[in-house]
């Protein structure tokens, strides 16, 4: 029971931390406001590193994450199915032996 309580407590603690982190993220600019007028053009590589946000790493991260999640889930499902099938076969054989 202590394990169950610890698991549930750990889950809710994780959710709370994630919520706090997400809440701390910067709010977006209000929709409908026009962007400020530009007085000069700046090449993107002259921006400070935190303002250079290329799309490719985000795109690659998103697609990699999706494929990894499904791959791991299929592996977990296959492992659980194999284990249960093995137990069913073992118990079935034991029952047959005890009947005969």
Partner 1 sequence: MRAATVCALMFALSPLVIASADYESTMGLVQKIFYYHMPSAWMFLVSGLVCGVASVRFLITGDARHDRTAWAAAEMAVIFGLVTIVTGPLWARKAWGTFWIWDARTTSSLVQWMVAWAYLILRKYGGPGSEKLAAGLALFGTANVAFIYVSVNYWRTIHPPTSVVPKLPFTMGFPLWYCVAAFTLLFIVLLKLRVRLEEQRATLDSLYLSMDEQG
CA separation for the pair 41, 47 (Å, rounded): 11
CB 36 → partner 1: shortest distance, Å?
14
Catalog residues that contact partner 1 under the rule CB under 8 A: 4, 7-8, 11, 15, 22-23, 25-29, 31, 53, 55-56, 58-59, 61-63, 65-67, 69-70, 73-74, 77, 80-81, 84-85, 87-88, 91-92, 94-95, 98
CB 74 → partner 1: shortest distance, Å?
8
What b-and-e string marks burial along 28-60, b requiring 16 or more CB atoms within 10 Å of the CB? eeeeeeeeeeeeeeeeeeeeeeeeeeeeeeeee
């Amino acid at each position: 029971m202590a394990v169950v309580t610890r698991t549930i407590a750990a889950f809710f603690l994780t959710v709370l931390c994630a919520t706090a982190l997400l809440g701390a993220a910067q709010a977006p600019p209000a929709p409908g406001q026009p962007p400020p007028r530009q007085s000069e053009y700046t090449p993107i590589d002259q921006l400070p590193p935190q303002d250079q946000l290329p799309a490719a790493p985000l795109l690659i991260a998103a697609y990699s994450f999706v494929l990894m999640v499904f791959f791991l889930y299929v592996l977990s499902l296959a492992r659980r199915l194999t284990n249960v099938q093995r137990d069913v076969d073992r118990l079935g054989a034991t029952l047959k032996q005890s009947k005969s």
